[in-house]
């Protein structure tokens, strides 16, 4: 049987990185709260893209697929971090909290993890409830609940810490 002989173009990878890397990075940074991990997650997402991506119907479909992969990578990293942490909470806190130029983004990073992804997909990336539900594998009502509660938490954090 013949094998497959292809050359995947560097142009294709470059195009995908130029189009989507910033969006992925924003989502990963809010989820992981530090640049090093966020960069790793973005890189892993593009490697997965090259290895496993299906044919896409549109650039929106392609972006949504990448963001979903990035969310999964972030979840895996957070779980790994939780299970293998051997440093003190204080040291972790100082390492992991990344100060941004924006108070609102800092407040977003302090919101509990389960709300952060929904908030960033909705408010930063502009996805609608049903789109977010499909991307993260939850029901639309769960997404609405997370948005509502997450928004309240975000406002509380913003007011307490930054006003």
Partner 1 sequence: MNDKDIRKAAEKIRLSDEKKQQIIDECVKNIDNTDLNGEQVSGVERVKSRPVMRFAAMAAACAVIIGGVGTTMHFMSRNGTAPAQSSEVETHVVMMPFGDFVDMYYWFIGGRSENPDDRLVVGEYLNTVEWRSTELADINTHADDIPEYIIDINEDDRHKLIMIYDDGVAACGELSPDFDFDPEVVFTQKVFEDAPVTYYKIHYPSFDEQMLAFEQERNIKIKNSNGTLVPVEDLEMLDVTNMQYELAMDQLMQSGFERVEYRNQQSDEIPEGYVISSDPKPGEVVPSDTNIMLYVSCGATDDIKVESYIGLTADDASAMAEYYGLKVRTLDNGGDDANRTVTAQSIEAGSVVPVGTEITLTVGMVNDLDLDFDLPDENVRFVNYKNTECPFILSKEQRDKLVSAIELGCYESVSSEDINGMVNNVSPEEQLGFGAYCLDWNDGNSWGDLTVFDNGIVSYDREIVGGEQKLEWYRIDASYIDTKIRSILGWSEGYCPFGTPYKTGLSYNGEALTGSKLREVSNAFFGWDWSKAEAVDSFLGETPTYKFTYGAADIGDVVINVYSDGTIEWSIPDSGVYRLTDADGDASNANIDLINQILDDILK
Binding region for partner 1 (CB under 8 A)? 1-14, 16-18, 21-22, 25-26, 29, 39, 42-43, 46-47, 49-59, 62, 100-102, 104-105, 108, 114, 119-120, 123-124, 126, 134, 137-139, 141-146, 148-149, 154-155, 158
Give the DSSP per-residue string, 19-47: HHHHHHHHHHHHHH-SHHHHHHHHHHHHH
Min CB(90)–partner 1 separation in Å: 22
Min CB(137)–partner 1 separation in Å: 5
Min CB(87)–partner 1 separation in Å: 26
The nearer residue to partner 1, 35 or 85, going by C-beta atoms, is: 35
Q: Supply 93's token pair.
A: 């806190």
The nearer residue to partner 1, 59 or 91, going by C-beta atoms, is: 59
CB atoms within 10 A of CB 109: 20
Contacts of 131 (CB under 8 A, 6+ apart): 64, 121
The nearer residue to partner 1, 57 or 88, going by C-beta atoms, is: 57
CB atoms within 10 A of CB 41: 25
Min CB(92)–partner 1 separation in Å: 22
Q: Which of 116, 121, 125, 123 is nearest to 149 (CA)?
A: 116
């Amino acid at each position: 049987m013949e094998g497959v002989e292809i050359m995947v173009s560097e142009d294709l990878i470059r195009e995908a990185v130029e189009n989507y890397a910033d969006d992925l990075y924003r989502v990963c940074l809010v989820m992981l709260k530090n640049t090093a991990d966020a960069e790793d997650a973005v890189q892993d997402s593009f490697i997965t893209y090259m290895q496993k991506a299906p044919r896409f119907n549109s650039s929106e479909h392609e972006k949504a697929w990448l963001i979903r992969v990035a969310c999964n990578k972030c979840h895996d990293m957070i779980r790994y971090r939780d299970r293998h942490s051997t440093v003190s909470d204080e040291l972790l806190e100082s390492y992991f909290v990344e100060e941004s130029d924006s108070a609102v983004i800092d407040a977003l990073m302090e919101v509990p993890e389960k709300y952060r992804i929904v908030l960033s997909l909705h408010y930063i990336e502009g996805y609608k409830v049903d789109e977010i539900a499909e991307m993260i594998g939850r029901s639309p009502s769960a997404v609405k609940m997370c948005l509502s509660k997450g928004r309240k938490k975000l406002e509380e954090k913003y007011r307490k810490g930054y006003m």
